[in-house]
């Protein structure tokens, strides 16, 4: 980083961290998920809680996602800006959480992440996050016409 500017490769690397976060959750690849955060990561998730380390947020997400079936976290509108110590971003998230058992409710949560990012020896990581809930919806979906 020079003169508080982000190079194109920095922006792409930060976007990669954000997508890796979603991929780690959706694939239940918790080692991959953990790579997104600094050790001293802090988080505030609207209505869910606050956490103070990369290990802690990983354990919380493992437990939370044991309670649901397949998930799909879509990340979009990644607005990334340089800061004096790294970067900040706002990213929209639209998460669909399928039921663990057939016939259960499908949940959809939408909101946005305000993150701070730092460049480490291992690449860009999320140092802090505030998640703001915008909408939550739950419904029983009709059976799929494609189910066998």
For the segment 25-63, what is each residue's pLDDT rounded down to a tens digit?
A: 999 999 999 999 999 999 999 888 999 999 999 999 999
C-alpha dihedral sign at 22, 28, 31, 32: negative
Structural element, H or E, at residue 18? helix 8-26
Structure tokens at 137: 């919806």
Q: What angle do CA 108, 113, 115 make, to 5 degrees?
A: 160
In a domain, 147, yes or no: no
CATH of the domain at 96: 3.10.450.50
Q: Is 15 helix (H, G, I), strand (E, B) or coil?
A: helix
The length of the chain, given as a count of residues: 148
Kindly report the pTM of this predicted structure.
0.90
In a domain, 67, yes or no: yes
Q: How far apart are the first and last CA of the chain?
A: 53
pLDDT, one tens digit per residue, over 115-140 is: 999 999 999 999 999 999 999 999 98
Q: What is the count of structural domains for the chain?
A: 1
Structure tokens at 64: 């939370």
In a domain, 119, yes or no: yes
- In terms of residue numbers, what domain contains 98? 8-139
């Amino acid at each position: 980083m020079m003169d508080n500017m982000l190079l194109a490769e920095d922006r792409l690397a930060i976007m990669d961290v954000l997508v890796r976060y979603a991929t780690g959750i959706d694939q239940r690849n918790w080692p991959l998920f953990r790579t997104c955060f600094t050790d001293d990561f802090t988080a505030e998730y609207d209505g869910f809680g606050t956490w103070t380390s990369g290990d802690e947020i990983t354990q919380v997400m493992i437990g939370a996602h044991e309670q649901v079936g397949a998930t799909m976290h879509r990340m979009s509108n990644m607005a990334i800006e340089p800061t004096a110590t790294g970067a900040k971003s706002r990213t929209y998230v639209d998460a669909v959480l399928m039921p663990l058992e057939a016939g259960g409710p499908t949940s959809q949560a939408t909101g946005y992440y305000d993150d701070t990012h730092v460049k480490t020896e291992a690449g860009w990581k999320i140092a802090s996050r505030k998640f703001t809930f915008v909408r939550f919806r739950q419904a029983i979906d009709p059976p799929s016409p494609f189910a066998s």
